[in-house]
A and B are shown apart, each in its own frame.
Chain A
Amino acid sequence: QKEVEQNSGPLSVPEGAIASLNCTYSDRGSQSFFWYRQYSGKSPELIMFIYSNGDKEDGRFTAQLNKASQYVSLLIRDSQPSDSATYLCAVKGSSASKIIFGSGTRLSIRP
């Protein structure tokens, strides 16, 4: 079992709709969870982090965490063409210095 799993996509969403990205993880001792966005040819940039169960909202982005189910998701409301990118889920596990990434979900927003 992979430590952090994501559907590789591509996920195609019409402009203005909600994009839903999902991630599961295997380490029950995981502490913090991150969503990074990576444009083609660029390095990852942090969009959101979450460490408590429930929802966390920041603008058009909402991160959701369910530690019992070992599941974290990212919702993007009012999707824009500029949201087209690969979204990486990352998990900080029991080892404080170790952050493990999923393989990423490629999101395409169609006009």
Chain B
Amino acid sequence: ETGVTQTPRHLVMGMTNKKSLKCEQHLGHNAMYWYKQSAKKPLELMFVYNFKEQTENNSVPSRFSPECPNSSHLFLHLHTLQPEDSALYLCASSQLRDTITGELFFGEGSRLTVL
């Protein structure tokens, strides 16, 4: 496999459910990201992990809990979500060390619907 892989691609959950989104990157990058994309809103940065350490938490509610066990895997644990959390959740990776650019490579996204 190549690039950034996200599972599941689609998820429907109730407000009391607990689920997780998974992301895996095969690019050898050292940083991984979660972004949220809602209709008519900019991509919102949620979390950044650099060498497995969280370096950014963009005031995300605690019902979203990230986990980064190694530099290739990233999870987003979801619990007691609200309908307004329905969105496309995008995982991305980049190479930060010694690069001025560090452009992002995105996965295909996980489309989440909260009922």
A residues adjacent to B (C-beta < 8 A): 4, 31-32, 34, 42-46, 49, 51, 88, 90, 92, 95-104
Contacts and interface: CB of A to CB of B under 8 A. Distances in A.
Interface range for B: 20 to 34
Nearest to A99: B104
B31 interface: yes
List of 6 A-B pairs having minimum Cβ-Cβ separation, nearest first: A101-B43, A43-B106, A103-B42, A97-B48, A97-B55, A101-B42
A42 B48 CA distance: 22
Interface stretch (B13-21, B74-82, B94-102): B94-102
A4 B106 CA distance: 20
Interface of B: 31, 33, 35, 40-43, 45, 48, 50, 55-56, 90, 94, 96, 100-109
